[in-house]
Chain A
Amino acid sequence: MRRPSPRLLLACVLFILLALAPILTIFVGNDYPLIVLTRVLILAMAAVSLDLILGYGGMVSLGHAAFLGLGAYAVGIMTTEGVTSGLVQWPLAILLTALVALVIGALSLRTRGVYFILVTLAFAQMIYFVSVGLDAYGGEDGLVVPTRSRFSVLDLSDRTSFYFLCLVLLFAAIAFVAHLARTRFGLVLRGAAMNERRMRALGFPVYRYRLAAFVIAGALCGLAGILLANHSEFVSPSIMNWGRSADLIIMVVLGGIGSAVGPLLGAMVFMLAEETLSHLTTYWQLIFGPLILIFVRFARSGLIGLFPERSGDG
C-alpha cells in the first residue's frame, strides 16, 4: 500500500470544504457566497482543461476562452430556439466545441512558440467577433438565457443543486486530467513538452497526440461554458474576450501548471483577489498583476508547490 500523496489529500480536503460551503449561505442569509463560489468552480473547470494542454502538453494557448464562449453560446442559442432539453443541448454543445477545437488545433499546432500563442489568440478573436456580429442573438449586448437546461432528474434552477452539480463535474474533470497524465497518452503529451526531439527519435508522431489533447481540453472547456451559461442565465461576447483567456492562464500558473488540482487553487485565489481588490479600485489588476509576477518569481511551481509530489511520475 502506498501512502496517499499530499496532492490527493489536498484534493479531498478541498472537495469536503467546498461541499460544506453551502452552509455559509445559512449564516449569511443570502445566496451571494454560493453564486460567487459556483462561478469559481466553473472557471476552475476551464482552468483545469487549459492545464491539460498548457501544463502537461506545454502548449501556451491564448485562445482558450473561445471554447468557454462556444459552449455558452451553444446553450444560449439552443434555448432561444426552444431546445431546452439538457440531453440534447449538452452533447451538441460539447460536440461543437470539440469540432472547433479540432480545426483550430489542426492549424495552430503546426506552429511553435510565440507563433502558437498568436495563432490561438487570432482564432479566438475571430470567434469573439463572430459572436459580436450575431445580431439575431444580441450581438455585442449579449443574450439572456430564459431558462436553464432541463433534466428530468435534476432541477438546475435550484441554486444548491446546481452548485453541487458543478462541484461534482469539476472534481470529475480534475480526476480525469490527473489520470490521463499518467496513462500512455499522458506520457506522450508530457514527453513531447519536455523533449520533442527525443520523442521523434523514439518514434512518436507527436502532432496527433497534441491535437487529441487540444480537442479534449477544448471539449472540457466547452462543458465549463455550458455551465457558465446556465449559471449566469446570460451569454455575451465578453465571456471569451482575450483577457479571459489570459485570466485562465494566470489561474493555471498561479495554482501550479501540470498538477490538475492546482488550477482550482489558482482560480480560488484569483477570484478572491478579484472580489476584494476590485472593491478597492477599478484598476485592481494593476495591483494584482505585479503580485502574481512576484509570486511566480519566487514560487515557480505555483501554490501547488506547497504540496510536494510523491517521488516518481504518478
Chain B
Amino acid sequence: MADLPLLSVKRLLKRFGGLIATDHVDIDVGAGETHALIGPNGAGKTTFIAQIQGELSPDAGAIIFSGRDIAREAAWRRAQQGLARSFQITSVFLQFTALTNVILAVQAQAGHSFRIRRAAVDEPALVEPAQAALAAIGLGDRAHVRAVALSHGEQRQLELAMALAMRPKLLLLDEPMAGMGRQDTARMTEILRKLKTQYSMLLVEHDMSAVEALADRVSVLVAGRVVATGSFAQIRADAHVRAAYLGEKHR
C-alpha cells in the first residue's frame, strides 16, 4: 500500500442549481507530487479546491486523504489533518501584521488555543516558526507591517507563507500568482520550485511557463470535467486540450 496516493478524489460532483460545476471529477495527487490543475475561466477549479479544503461540500463522491474519506468532515478538521489552502483572492487578516497572520497559522497546528497566560507575540514557540515561514518566502523584513499595507505581490506571498506555516501534508494552491506582474510571477515560480521538493501540491495556475516549470502532472478541467491528464508535454500535444484551452490562451 506504499504507493497509495496522498489524495484521491473520486467521482466528485457539485451542482449550483442547474450548473454542474464539478462533473464526476477523478484526480489523484501522489506523495511528493506537484499536480497542476489548469482550465479556462469558470471551469470549476476554485470550486474543486474549495470542496477538498472543506469550504464547500460536494453533492456526491469521495475525497480520500491519507487513506480516509474526508468528504463530510468540517473544514477545520481537514486543516488539522494537513490540508492547507491558499486563496485565489487574497484572504488574510488585514488588520494584523504579517507576522501575526503567520503566527495564527502556526498556532492553528499547535494544539488548542485556550491559552491566556502570555501574549502570543511573546511566545518563541509561535514567533520563531512564523518568522521562518516569512523568511522562506521572502517576507522576512516585512514581518511587522500590517497586511493591509502590504503590496498585492506581498499579500500573495503572505497567503503562501500562512499555508506553509501550517506544516501541511498537501498544499492546495489556487492561482498563487494571480494578479502578479511578470517579475513577481518569476520570483514566485522560483519559490515554488524550491518548495516542490518538500511538499505535495495541487496547483491551480493560468501561467503556462509556471506550470511547465513546476508540474509533475497536469490535469485539464473544462466545464467541470477533466478532459485530460498527463505530463506537461503530453497535455501540450493533446489536440483536445489545444482546442479547449491552450489554443485560446496562446493565440
Pick the residue among B80, B84, B95, B119 that contacts A183 (CB under 8 A): B119
B208 contacts chain A at the CB level, 8 A cutoff: no
B171 contacts chain A at the CB level, 8 A cutoff: no
Pick the residue among B103, B119, B126, B166 that contacts A203 (CB under 8 A): B166
Pick the residue among A179, A180, A203, A212 that contacts B108 (CB under 8 A): A203
B116 & A191 in contact (Cβ 8 Å cutoff): no
Which residues of B152-171 are within 8 A (CB) of A?
162, 166
B95: chain A residues within 8 A (beta carbon): 194
B68 contacts chain A at the CB level, 8 A cutoff: no
A234 contacts chain B at the CB level, 8 A cutoff: no
- The residue of chain A having its C-beta at the shortest distance from the C-beta of B95 within the complex is A194
Q: How far is the CA of A202 from the CA of B126 in the complex (A)?
A: 15
B117 & A183 in contact (Cβ 8 Å cutoff): yes
* A210–chain B nearest beta-carbon distance, Å: 12
Known: A201-B55, A202-B105. A212 touches B114 (CB 8 A): yes
A185 & B97 in contact (Cβ 8 Å cutoff): no
Which residues of B78-115 are within 8 A (CB) of A?
79-80, 84-85, 87, 91-97, 100, 103-105, 107-109, 113-115
A314 contacts chain B at the CB level, 8 A cutoff: yes
Which residues of A174-214 are within 8 A (CB) of B?
179-180, 182-188, 190-191, 194-195, 197-206, 209, 212
A312 contacts chain B at the CB level, 8 A cutoff: yes
A-B contacts, CB under 8 A, total: 108
Pick the residue among B92, B115, B118 that contacts A198 (CB under 8 A): B92
Known: A185-B114, A187-B104, A191-B104. A201 touches B53 (CB 8 A): yes
Pick the residue among B85, B92, B103, B116 that contacts A195 (CB under 8 A): B92
A195: chain B residues within 8 A (beta carbon): 91-94
Indicate with 1 or 0, residue by residue over A207-231, a CB within 8 angstroms of chain B CB atoms: 0010010000000000000000000
B113 & A204 in contact (Cβ 8 Å cutoff): yes
B220 contacts chain A at the CB level, 8 A cutoff: no
- Size range of the interface on A? 20 to 34
B144 contacts chain A at the CB level, 8 A cutoff: yes
A202: chain B residues within 8 A (beta carbon): 76, 79, 104-105, 108, 162, 166
A313 contacts chain B at the CB level, 8 A cutoff: yes
Pick the residue among A184, A187, A203 that contacts B80 (CB under 8 A): A203
Q: How far is the CA of A205 from the CA of B108 in the complex (A)?
A: 10
- Size range of the interface on B? 35 or more
Q: How far is the CA of A202 from the CA of B232 in the complex (A)?
A: 31
- The residue of chain A having its C-beta at the shortest distance from the C-beta of B162 within the complex is A202
A206: chain B residues within 8 A (beta carbon): 76
Q: How far is the CA of A194 from the CA of B94 in the complex (A)?
A: 8
- The residue of chain A having its C-beta at the shortest distance from the C-beta of B86 within the complex is A201
Pick the residue among A194, A209, A311 that contacts B113 (CB under 8 A): A209
Pick the residue among B105, B109, B119 that contacts A182 (CB under 8 A): B119
B123: chain A residues within 8 A (beta carbon): 184
A187: chain B residues within 8 A (beta carbon): 96, 100, 103-104, 107, 113, 120
Known: A194-B94, A212-B114. A203 touches B79 (CB 8 A): yes
A201 & B79 in contact (Cβ 8 Å cutoff): yes
* A57–chain B nearest beta-carbon distance, Å: 14
Known: A194-B94, A203-B108. A188 touches B113 (CB 8 A): yes
Q: How far is the CA of A205 from the CA of B91 in the complex (A)?
A: 18
Q: How far is the CA of A180 from the CA of B210 in the complex (A)?
A: 44
Given contacts A183-B120, A204-B113, list 5 more A-B pairs with CB under 8 A: A183-B118, A184-B120, A185-B114, A202-B104, A203-B77
Offer 7 A-B interface pairs, CB within 8 angstroms, sorted by A.
A188-B113, A194-B95, A200-B74, A200-B76, A201-B87, A203-B76, A204-B113
